[in-house]
Amino acid sequence: MHVIAFPVCSAAVIRAIPFKKSLDAETELEDKKYELLRVIQDTQRGLVTTADQRSSIEEALVSVEAFDAGEAIDLGELDGTWRLQYTSAPDVLILFESASRLPFFQVGQVFQKFECQDESNGGVVRNIVKWSIPSLLEEQEGATLLVSAKFSVVSSRNIYLQFEEIALNKINISEELQALIAPAILPRSFISLQILQFIRAFKAEFPVRNPGRNSVGGLYYLSYLDRYMLLGRAVGGGGVFVFTRAQAIVL
């Protein structure tokens, strides 16, 4: 009589199988994220793309989004500052296009700052655009355009934005302009110092909403989120967005 010996799997081995699958999935996800960042690398944040590039970018986006499908957005993880790496949104691309054509206009970094820590149903999001006018303002970060909106969670992945205010602040004038206002070789008078202080502290605010009317709003689909990457789609054909985590910005 022949005895058939069956392999014995220990409890440790059985527990290791899902752990290995988890590691494999995590490695695959990191590869997909790397591929997405690679295909958008030479697009100047979306300004310069061909039809083939846009197709490859969409394919890479969908590949990353598939890993997070169906999961509810964690507002604690969403909270913080995100740097724009790529977009197809026309209202953002027009800024990049203007900067590429106009020698007197520069657009620096673009951020989204979510303020929703310890919240469950929404918070505040601020769109931050660093821009400059060469020779008058500091390079790339001469001034800050700030578009603020309240947002509410309307489903596991969708948030509704209600735009509240547009502000212009943090004006950093160039050394050349400072020299014209208050020459370094002469004692700076009280008036010239007051002018410099006024410019630095200047802030202009413009409400988006009209009295008695609802503010401008829009639906935003957060298609992927982890500690280091945020993907979004403006519902209604408003474009896609690729963000990566950035250092906190004090406004």
Statement: residue 14 has pLDDT above 50: no
**Residue 114 in contact with residue 80, Cβ under 8 Å?**
yes
List pLDDT tens digits, range 39-55: 999 999 999 999 999 99
- Cα gap 48→173, rounded to integer Å: 30
State the pLDDT at residue 119.
Answer: 86
| 158 token code pair | 């969708």
**CA–CA distance, 93 with 184 (Å, rounded to integer):** 40
The structure tokens listed for 234 are 């403006």
Give the pLDDT band (50/70/90) at residue 217.
confident
With tokens 């697009």, the residue in question is 43
Over residues 227-239, mean pLDDT: 91
Q: What is the pLDDT of residue 141?
A: 73
Nearest 5°: CA angle at 16, between 15 and 21? Answer: 115
**Lowest-confidence pick of 75-84, 136-145, 241-250:** 136-145
Residue 176: its pLDDT value, please? Answer: 59
